[in-house]
Amino acid sequence: MPPLAASVRTDRPQRILITGASSGIGAALALAYAERGIGLVLGGRDLPRLAATEGACRARGAEVEAATVDVTDAGAMRRWIEAADDRAPLDLVIANAGISAGTGTDGESEAQARAIFATNIDGVVNTVWPALQRMERRGRGQVALMSSLAAFRGFPGAPAYCGSKAAVRVWGEGLRGEYAGKGVAVSVICPGYVESPMTAVNDFPMPLLMSAERAAGIVKRGLARNRARIAFPFPMYVAAWLLGALPPGLTDPLLRRLPKKA
């Protein structure tokens, strides 16, 4: 890929927009960035949890704008993002909102799969596109897309979730090259198991499960360094990459034995 323009600054974002900020990594990221002199624009679906995140960030000295937003509503998202950018230019936009589904023995239902694609793919596009257009015009900014280590291989029991995160990862990596030289940095985030309401329903062992706070610290440091792919924890990243690289004939028998959600 061509090098990014020298004008790209990713180490000191002053105004940051985060979707899915009511819980999990999104809330932890908001808190990780919250301090005096920082402006946060937070979106989420759960109003009480979002209000709690807003209050905690204000307590750390940040200026906070919070709104309940539906990332699947393209028009509403464009209006929300452009209004926030009009008030003060956004330096960093993190498209974090995402969902999974209980899979059971029959896997994801059609309704679950459609909801996952609508939130995890359309929702990311609805967040990223308005931000990219504004940032490209002024020649500066940074966008981060939340993918997953599940993006490297389709897993039985969660094919739609894996597929949605694979689409986000590949799209984000392509956008990084597309916007190189335009002053806009693009990074893809691929976490493993992180403590959140999404993983709280899992009743099986989750290797190297980490706190949302620790994950947010890793993401923040990676974004400050303008890393193309922020994948962690490293042993899980290697395992996920290897599963994706090996022939399905070798990996399918193993994956069929993996535990599923209740």
What residues act catalytically? 161
CA-wise closest residue to 39 among 67, 65, 77, 9: 65
For β-strands 92-95 and 229-232, DSSP reports them as unpaired
Question: Alpha-carbon torsion 141, 165, 120, 216, what sign?
Answer: negative
Q: In whole angstroms, how far apart are CA 78 and each of 75, 82, 93, 123, 229?
A: 5, 6, 13, 11, 26
Q: Tell me the β-bridge partners of 123.
A: none
Read off the DSSP letter of residue 208.
T
With H, G, I as helix, E, B as strand and everything else as coil, classify residue 62: coil
Per the CB < 8 A criterion, the answer to whether 160 and 108 are in contact is yes
CA–CA gap between residue 19 and residue 126 (Å, rounded) = 11
Dihedrals phi, psi of 107, to nearest 5 degrees: 75, -170
